[in-house]
Structure 1
């Protein structure tokens, strides 16, 4: 079977407009969360976000490209970085051998909501007046337009798709990319995830299910995964784009390889839209299947990048899953949640977490779980509290858990 390797990375994240800035933030021990500035959030229970400081001009986006949805702009900006980092000349790859697989959970919500406000005169009219709409209205309505924009830029005429599985969308998109490489359907896949959900409708949805932190008076430390005083997730935004390449193809052109993707698996708990089974058996099954594909022993994992959303239920569920899948090694391996730093960017976060694993392997440093203030007896693993740690990481595991019962796991190995 063919092997899938990562040869290029690009990132747009809170307080980070490059891979280097991103890694510096993740290992700094500080959080990028704060009060929402994108809109007036005073009516909502949760008014906290991890927002990107994104200037499209700095990435060379044209005035026309700046009419794209914010999530699409993130993806285009991250794509440019990833292509440069990879050093790949896409024009030298047959177009039918290039694919695009991107994750996004809530689509192009921000632009669609803004356009509705324009056409309905801020909701005062039941019948919208489409003559006031942007020509890009249909693009904002169809999430797959994000993939189309990226496909045009890389000349991809192979399999291109939007993966939307909630909070696991980013990791699942990379998993689909790996499958395309392994089966020989593609030589190069542009993959990852992008999301720009910081908008009133998103906050209304999350208030309704009581999933977000209401620690508004401590917005810069509100997301506290695995800590005994955690009270919910903090929404974020951003994008990560990865160049996934067939190993021999990458080696033939002398590419620098970050790691190979050893295994990927996904499960669903068929249990509840937002609830989780206490024992984490479905996530454990995904981890076990991913390890089996990779031929890695549990003891080989040097870092676990946790989903670690900071909700009471998720962190207990995930702790149980890792114990079940890794056995005694669960107590030895460092495990951390970068959502404590950059928030939860829904469909993008799985891709951003994959990048964090690859950088941990490159630098032999594990990023910390910040804002960890007190232990929880139900969460008793090594969560690398507050301070980054040097560690020999030759293999890493990243996991994702999404509303709807989606559970995914992926392993990365040094080549």
Structure 2
């Protein structure tokens, strides 16, 4: 069995605005949402900026008990799930719950709540022997990443496969890829899939400070994320989430659903090389792209837009440029490429799903979002990286890619189905 899979619902929480419209408005305007960290006192750290989401849990409909129980990342996932289901127009209660699945990605899961609880129990680290009397009754929920997809499953009544995908910065891409496989093989008919991460906490900031992956350009937060620019100095940490409703194509058409795109190809590879290092030739990402294109039965010239990982680190942007040249051939020099991390930062495991959302909207609106802050391209990054201003053009097929610590490289192909108007 190899059933076709389409995406019919989107929910987004990203820096710069709440919801799909605010997210798309920010991207197409080329505005940046990176700023000085406000979640805690970041003055002791090397990198003190981030892409924060203005999220009001009570206004989002969460009760005090739910807020106490759910980590911030889980709240994001549930809020996006509600939006995605509403957007899809699908009545989940009318479906067989055993034919509904959940696939959620996250890199650091409930790290924010875990750290907050440790600070409370240890009196901000003053006590070596912590007092368990101050322990939250929900500490086990914060410890187990699996509680995040479970909360999503409870939200939609899913009793089919419920899975957590956590392989670093490709988690949000791989969670959707896994969901596609579940529907294709006939295990389920519908999957709520996506990713959520809220890593703006002292421990996570310190981790990236230690390896100098994040930018120290603290004096100019709005222009600090500079993918493919010769002056780039690292990525800007961020938080966010995006969730989708995926369905079997025939069922979506039968009920008259709005289809954003069909997922025609997906692949993931690992370089088995280094925890953070990347080879300059981009071979592993190129292989993931090649396999995804083969699965989609698509020639490289069929790609209208490439949504790049574009983290803004020296090695990633050069590695990615090489991968595009290796996998797309001469078409790499003609196809527009951009990185939305220049505007919303890098939300680790969530960014792959957020970039899929941007790709779906590019198809819907026939607009390629720009790479903000790209003024002086690195000579080694010599492709069409759509600097500064969004570009109106026909977009039927998008290749979106991800690269993560541990050597993970993933690619997904999204295509406007025949018969769906532009």
Q: What TM-score, normalized to structure 1?
A: 0.99
Tell me what 1:8 maps to. Answer: 9
The Cα shift of 1:367 comes to: 0.3
More off after superposition, 248-257 vs 32-41: 248-257
Q: Are 2:361 and 1:359 equivalent residues in the alignment?
A: yes
Q: Cα RMSD between the aligned structures?
A: 0.7
Q: Which runs of 5+ in 2 are unaligned?
A: 418-422
- Deviations for 1:297-339, whole angstroms, at most 9, x for unmatched residues? 1111100000000000000000000011000000000000000
Does the aligned pair in 2 maintain the 1:143–1:162 contact within 8 Å? Answer: yes
- Deviations for 1:66-102, whole angstroms, at most 9, x for unmatched residues? 1211001111111111011001011111111000000
Alpha-carbon distance in 2 for matches of 1:133, 1:10: 33
Tell me what 1:26 maps to. Answer: 27
Residues 159-308 of structure 1 aligned to structure 2 (within 5 Å):
159-308=161-310
Tell me what 2:52 maps to. Answer: 51
Alpha-carbon distance in 1 for matches of 2:55, 2:109: 19
Equivalent of residue 334 in structure 2, options 332, 335, 341: 332
- Deviations for 1:339-396, whole angstroms, at most 9, x for unmatched residues? 0000000010000000100000000000000011212110000000000000110000
Does the aligned pair in 2 maintain the 1:13–1:237 contact within 8 Å? Answer: yes
Q: Which runs of 5+ in 1 are unaligned?
A: none
The Cα shift of 1:64 comes to: 1.3
Paired residues in the alignment total 415
Q: Are 2:155 and 1:140 equivalent residues in the alignment?
A: no
Runs of 4+ in structure 1 deviating by more than 2 angstroms, as ranges, are none
Alpha-carbon distance in 2 for matches of 1:375, 1:237: 27
Q: What TM-score, normalized to structure 2?
A: 0.98
Does the aligned pair in 2 maintain the 1:229–1:373 contact within 8 Å? Answer: no
Alpha-carbon distance in 2 for matches of 1:56, 1:136: 18
Alpha-carbon distance in 2 for matches of 1:360, 1:130: 50
- Deviations for 1:247-281, whole angstroms, at most 9, x for unmatched residues? 11212222111110000000000010000010000
Alpha-carbon distance in 1 for matches of 2:198, 2:333: 36
The Cα shift of 1:135 comes to: 1.3
Tell me, what secondary structure is at the counterpart of 2:208?
A: helix
The Cα shift of 1:14 comes to: 0.5
The Cα shift of 1:58 comes to: 2.1
The Cα shift of 1:60 comes to: 1.0
Tell me, what secondary structure is at the counterpart of 1:56?
A: coil
Tell me what 1:401 maps to. Answer: 403
Alpha-carbon distance in 2 for matches of 1:26, 1:192: 20
Equivalent of residue 96 in structure 1, options 81, 95, 98: 98
Tell me what 2:62 maps to. Answer: 61
